[in-house]
């Protein structure tokens, strides 16, 4: 039987070795992509678009987000920004049991002079949502959460595409 002091020493040495192994593996949290321009203008969005607000918030951490496209280095033009919900499954009594949620965002990026930086890109995300009338309020909240998650995924994809742009 080992003494308690020796057992504690063995555990401490093992923990130190494990932490050193993890520190040397190169693990690093994902950072937002670095943008190679100084300013951007967002055009073509609906007046109170949640996607435009999320993009503006993320972009403003790295570049200036301008209201007008005249003085911007890059102009991000929203061609289509749609949220869609369709019934996928119903019961024999015509009660809805499942929806499909879609978020479609089509955009392109250009310089103020009109030179195309990113050709027209369409991002389409879909999620399935089961439904029950008994839990209608909870399902409404789940739907909002799914749309929010899809929106943040679209923002991340747009940022990765903008990181490849060199003006």
The residue extents of the domains of the chain are 35-163
Mean of pLDDT values over 135-141: 91
Q: What is the pTM of this model?
A: 0.77
The pLDDT value given to residue 21: 60
Q: Are 129 and 92 in contact (CB under 8 A)?
A: no
- Of the options 3.40.50.300, 3.30.160.150, 3.30.1180.10, 3.40.50.11900, the CATH number for the domain spanning 35-163: 3.30.160.150
Q: Residue 129: helix, strand or coil by DSSP?
A: strand
CA dist 15 to 9, 10, 22, 58, 107, Å?
A: 10, 9, 11, 38, 50
Extended strands (E) in 17-73: 39-43, 64-66
Instruction: For 70-115, give the DSSP string.
Output: TT-SEEEEEEEEEEEEEEEEE-TT--EEEEEEEEEEEEEEE-TT--
Q: Give me the residues paired with residue 78 across strands.
A: 107
Residues 1-56: tens digit of each pLDDT? 556 567 766 777 666 666 656 556 777 777 778 898 999 999 999 989 999 999 99
The rounded mean pLDDT for the chain is: 88
* Angle of helix 136-163 versus helix 50-59 axis, rounded to 10: 40
The pLDDT value given to residue 116: 95
Residues 118-131: tens digit of each pLDDT? 999 999 999 999 99
The pLDDT value given to residue 19: 63
pLDDT above 90 (res 166) = no
Structure tokens at 88: 């996928």
């Amino acid at each position: 039987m080992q003494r308690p002091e020796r057992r504690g020493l063995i555990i401490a040495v093992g923990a130190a070795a494990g932490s050193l192994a993890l520190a040397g593996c190169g693990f690093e949290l994902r950072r937002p992509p670095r943008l190679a321009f100084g300013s951007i203008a967002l055009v073509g969005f609906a007046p109170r678009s949640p996607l435009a607000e999320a993009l503006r918030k993320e972009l403003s951490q790295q570049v200036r987000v301008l209201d007008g496209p005249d003085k911007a280095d890059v102009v991000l033009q929203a061609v289509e920004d749609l949220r869609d919900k369709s019934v996928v499954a119903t019961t024999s009594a015509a009660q809805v049991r499942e929806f499909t949620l879609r978020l479609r965002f089509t955009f392109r990026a250009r310089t103020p002079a009109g030179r195309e930086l990113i050709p027209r890109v369409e991002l389409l995300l879909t999620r399935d949502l089961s439904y029950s009338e008994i839990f209608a309020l909870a399902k409404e909240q789940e739907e909002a959460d799914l749309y929010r998650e899809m929106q943040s995924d679209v923002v991340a994809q747009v940022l990765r595409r903008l990181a490849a742009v060199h003006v």
